[in-house]
Amino acid sequence: MRKKILIAAIAVIAVVSVVAGVLGFSACTKADFTIGIMQAVEHDALSRANTAFQDELSSLMEADGYTVDFKYNNAQGSTDLISGGIETFINSSVDLIYAIATPAAQTASGMTGDSGIPVIFNAVTDPVGDKIVGSLEHSDTNVTGVSDINPIADQVTLMQYLLGGSAEYTDFTVGVMYTTSEGNSQYQKNLVAAACKEKGINCVEFGVSGVNEISTQMDAVKQSNVDILYLPTDNLLASNVSTVHSLNTNEEGAKLPIVSGEISMNDVCGVATISVDYSELGRIAAQMAYEILVKKTDPGKLPTRSQDSGYTVSINESVCTEIGFTINEQTRAFLDTYDSI
């Protein structure tokens, strides 16, 4: 009986071996590179930075005959899940960690120094201010990445066109809603305020520390003399942009035109925007990962990169209809020209 079982087992192993050989793999096949991906929170822009990264890096690796395996984690806004996921990546000795959004990047850079595992961050607006790298030119550590800083000065110019039809119009007030607990949000708020000051435009700030304050501050916006609202690309507002939209467009809402820092936010609540493309940012990050893994480039010598051309422009006609706002022809012409640069 034992002999028959042994013969049967050997036969099964032989069949599996033949099939594996025909298909070009073995049961123990291991990818040439393993990437740990930590996404801090769920929203469309960050997910696009993740998907494009995986697609681009897989393509680059395949062209050179390499294979890559991705271990994806989404912390859904939990700092504990971020640190736990990064620790798992370190313990499993991944070849590289891709950290999407500031909390993930801060945690990855802080935890991986002794391990030597390279870290590439993405969707971080101010990596120096957030102490992820000491310099945009080179970190001299195991960390580098991609900043998602938007063309804020051009976005302020867009607001001038929206309200006055030219880049010279300044007789209006911009409201900036931002998250007080996110350094990247404060950084963008400061850039908007500086751009407005330089142009002679009045700017009022509305800080929120959590989801529950969004409603309170939207009421404050309505009671103010704000003519247009700007939303930076921070995690809290991006994750709750539909709430902002509902509060702005309901019967009690201010029905103000909104310019969002990023196109997927604009798709929900804004009238128009000029934005970085998070898919493009993901592709840039993948190219940096390829340099580190295949070309053996020191991540500490790779400068932080950003998108400096090919921005995405958008007009959201449905939101315009909801709030009774008309996009003037001067704005359309400005965006057409901008899109062709």
- Residue 272 binned pLDDT confidence (cut-offs 50, 70, 90): very high
pLDDT tens digits for range 9-55? 444 444 444 444 444 444 457 899 999 999 999 989 999 999 999 99
* 329 and 228 in a common domain: yes
Q: Residue 15, exposed/middle/buried by CB under 10 A (0-12, 13-18, 19+)?
A: exposed
pLDDT of 227? 98
pLDDT of 30? 87
Please compute the mean of the pLDDT values over residues 47-65 and round it to a whole number.
98
pLDDT tens digits for range 115-133? 999 999 999 999 999 999 9
Domain count, the chain: 2
228 and 259 Cβ atoms separated by less than 8 Å: yes
What gap in Å lies between CA 169 and CA 210, rounded to an integer? 34
* 164 and 48 in a common domain: no
58 and 68 Cβ atoms separated by less than 8 Å: yes
What are the distances in angstroms from CA 49 to CA 66, 127, 284, 286, 336? 22, 17, 9, 10, 26
* 105 and 68 in a common domain: yes
Beta bridge partners of 36: 71, 97
218 found inside a domain: yes
8 found inside a domain: no
Residues in the chain: 341
* 70 and 55 in a common domain: yes
* 121 and 253 in a common domain: no
Residue 223's domain comprises 152-275+311-339
- Kindly state the tokens that stand for 5: 């079982």
Please give the order of strands across the beta sheet that includes 173-179.
Answer: 202-208, 173-179, 228-231, 258-260
What gap in Å lies between CA 164 and CA 150, rounded to an integer? 22
* 210 and 106 in a common domain: no
pLDDT of 14? 45
Residue 270 reports pLDDT greater than 60: yes
Q: At 12, give phi and psi (nearest 5°).
A: -65, -45
Name the maximum alpha-carbon separation found in the chain. Answer: 94
The predicted model scores a pTM of: 0.84
Q: Is 277 helix (H, G, I), strand (E, B) or coil?
A: coil
pLDDT of 171? 98
- In CATH, what number is assigned to the domain containing residue 98? 3.40.50.2300
* 326 and 288 in a common domain: no
Q: Is 174 helix (H, G, I), strand (E, B) or coil?
A: strand
Mean pLDDT of the chain: 92
